[in-house]
Structure 1
């Protein structure tokens, strides 16, 4: 009987200890996970960090309709396959992120899968965002959850068949998408790794600065080699600063100046890049801008371009273009194409002039050149449009001239090219 009594007492003591531990743990342990997450999401420091990261990603540019509430969606993103509306990112329960958990948000960002389990269209650049760390994603989520909720239901994508079938994304994802977070390179500096993380992840630079194939896929082995932006008719230049790169000869200060102010001694941001500078990069910290520049300067040299000024008919197009340049352009950009520092951008050695297609120069001549408004340049000089003054032949001649003059040696543009881009929207 004694052993039974001892066993009972031992079990009783164990039960008392277990209950006491449970009561103590319940009283002193952290809040339940859902409640803990809700509390953490309200941390002002975390929200501020998330706001900065949203600025790095230029999220508002796509998720804010013209004249609409910030991040409330409604803007249609043009693609070669049709328009994809950007969704509402405010915490509205019915039409935004109000009912989203962080795990669902993380899955969308990292895996490109929506809250309903359906694959997302890659107009949302999860092909880049997959590299964002979970910690940064949580901060971004906290910021979006802190926004005023706006009721704004997302429209249905207007895509052509068969691209309107989400099942087709299975094949696309198999070909072009590999989820995976950014892994720092131990052989590189902290600045390089920070710059690579920002450019490859939230900055999603490769989404514009590389050529896509006919299915809208990004080549796996090309990084920032330049490419025409789908459906927007602008060319995002190669970003290498070495031989034959689009930024050949650019220094760290040149890159930082362009990203912060929209202008540098090497050129000025126009077109879509002007919007990126205005809404995103001008607000980045100095150390992050320099980190991005450090990363860009590590990009390798490029192959020499095939064909150049030798294709130009010097007896006709260049002579005509030179006369037009003297009449219409030289008073601002100078006879030597050097421009005026901080006022009119140089044309000699300018990436926007010499990029492979000639699209950028054609569009700036036709539509005008409007540098971004930044804190450093609140009232930048702009170039007026010449679409009403110059014929297609005139524009082709003057653009071909500036692409060949001075140190430039880019291929000429054709009159038919000008006719094509004269009739395309400005976006």
Structure 2
């Protein structure tokens, strides 16, 4: 395939050389003459192990060459890869002038093109940039229509410095965020020789994935550093603690966005760790932010109820999991409390919880935090859902999902377990509570 790579920063140079190594004909475009001169003199404009040799081989074979202008090449090329730098301003907002400049030049080339040219955004951008900025600019300046005259896709890369070449040829997967299937098919051909699973999705999901991946990486590093500071203050080997932590296969399971975590031990242990860190004068801002963030998950459900404009609400489940009897720190109680304060007519049911048998800490917790539970608690599932306008499913129980499926379409469902995929997206609002447990 004939490919134009727009921008010879770290990602662009690596992508250009690797695609040329796969046998594609690659034109590297950059407005900095020194970068183009380096390419055409068989040298890499950036430092990366193995990249210099790859550039030299690609240029010598005739599969890679550089130019300052690329407009004339668009009409004969299959794909344009936008690898623009996206710096941020003082407010943290992205500066898109390089993306916009490349887009304008590509648009001029599209005017003279009769081919279905696919423009692929590989720069790390916020969700919505491709649809709200890239596509309108392309249509405005080319006088053509996306999906009919040209294609658009988002293709995030996961290349790490010092291992970028290996990452390209052995990626965790290939993400194709496509505006239309034709664009996705063409982009898939570009990677036909890469042995990796391909995931095709929409352009916003692909944009969000790249930002999420970078944010998650920073979170992991910062969490490890916080625990390292905490352990260091207590003369504990933090390296060994984290090494053993990552060996716990319970943490390798995938997580989905969803409801708040619960269980007395999770919150209790977190509060204890934070308390000890304060006594030791060790600042742990990430760990301190966890409980407020968890509270936001509860508030988000309440906000969804507000948006649905219902007055009769049923909550199925008092704990995150079936057969959990410890009500302390369950996120359902603060959810019920907030809904009560919204003047919602509540009904609650959990087949494992019998209010007349609550004793000790369980009873005290309910008395302190939601004494109205006895007023809203239903004696049966049928009683709980009677005349309900909205059912909130907290626990993953077959009977709860079967009941929700059988309800009239007028009854809305919020499924916090993310298990009920039989209902339409219009009826079900999915929130998944992945691993909220009471494990010590």
With normalisation by structure 1, the TM-score equals 0.23
Q: Higher relative CO (CA 8 A, sep ≥ 6), structure 1 or 2?
A: 1
Normalized per residue, which structure has more strand?
2
With normalisation by structure 2, the TM-score equals 0.23
